[in-house]
Homo-oligomer: A and B are copies of this chain.
């Protein structure tokens, strides 16, 4: 359609310049060209632009899920929302890839890093298994940032939440309320999130001189059901509080507690992690750690774009802060001391 835009009586070069608003164009010419563009409803062809400029303004988002169950976790919805929103604003397009099966991963890693479709890729990852995909990305030289803490973090860019400190805060708060026998339902130990949040739990206990009891540590997998099962096991222990590594597991745990005719926080205090909006509906108000999930998405896109624009840069690790949201499920000092 460049030809059509020559109705303005200028060269294609000039049209291209006003489309990409270059600095040095005489106002008269610019106006004239813009008018013609308006009238014709001209849209530059994306493929031609990409081919000529070697930049597609498309970034990929890879969600490597071993189990599609993970996908029902609201965390991902919010993450996608943050990323999509940011892309819209800066006029990038987001291509979406779900790598649930091993096959998909192979397929993905063989196909797109090098075909010029994508300027860069975002990958959510905290499993050991994903390491291969990340390595492929690094070797391909395509700009990439991982969301979450990858198992091997050296030399790679990531944005994450400070899971360890967040867990530390949550457990410290329980301790400050006077609880002594604090259990935790962790995330999967195969994931960095799981590991980091457990580490925060342990550090909080240790710094307060509370012995770490392995019987009070049960591994979950972030599902409601695993929270329920874990809690059932924990109930045979003598405990007064629980730090669940996700709201979803906390809700499951609370169900287990109720099934045994116990109450939160009267009998057992509970703190979750995530501050999922949809969890607010539970009848007990959950004390939890709020993660800025949408922010994570935004930061990741911004970092990726900066990587795309200024080629090499030293690896950046962005850690976003969390916030302890105190509600009723952890009880309070007063109640405990009565």
In contact, B46 and A48 (Cβ under 8 angstroms): no
Residue of B with least CB distance to A56:
B47
Query: Which residues from chain B contact A224 at a C-beta distance below 8 Å?
Result: 278, 281
User: Is A77 an interface residue, CB under 8 A from the partner?
Assistant: yes
Assign chain A's interface to a size class.
35 or more
In contact, B93 and A95 (Cβ under 8 angstroms): yes
User: Is A195 an interface residue, CB under 8 A from the partner?
Assistant: no
In the assembled complex, the Cα of A73 lies from the Cα of B57 at a distance in Å of: 30
Q: Which of A74, A76, A84 has the most CB of B within 10 A?
A: A84
Query: Which residues from chain B contact A45 at a C-beta distance below 8 Å?
Result: 51, 115-116
Residue of B with least CB distance to A278:
B72
Given A47-B117, A117-B93, residue A77 in contact with residue B81 (CB < 8 A):
no
Query: Which residues from chain B contact A108 at a C-beta distance below 8 Å?
Result: 88
Residue of B with least CB distance to A281:
B224
Task: Given contact pairs A68-B81, A93-B95, enumerate 6 new A-B contacts (beta carbons under 8 Å).
Answer: A76-B77, A81-B98, A84-B97, A88-B107, A94-B95, A94-B96
In contact, B281 and A252 (Cβ under 8 angstroms): yes
Majority DSSP secondary structure for residues of A touching B: helix
In the assembled complex, the Cα of A41 lies from the Cα of B115 at a distance in Å of: 11
In contact, B72 and A116 (Cβ under 8 angstroms): no
Residue of B with least CB distance to A65:
B81
User: Is A326 an interface residue, CB under 8 A from the partner?
Assistant: no
User: Is A225 an interface residue, CB under 8 A from the partner?
Assistant: yes
Q: Which chain A residues numbered 82 to 100 have a C-beta less than 8 Å away from chain B?
A: 84-85, 88, 93-98, 100
In the assembled complex, the Cα of A315 lies from the Cα of B107 at a distance in Å of: 34
Query: Which residues from chain B contact A56 at a C-beta distance below 8 Å?
Result: 46-47
In contact, A96 and B72 (Cβ under 8 angstroms): no
Query: Which residues from chain B contact A114 at a C-beta distance below 8 Å?
Result: 41, 43
In the assembled complex, the Cα of A97 lies from the Cα of B84 at a distance in Å of: 7
Residue of B with least CB distance to A55:
B47
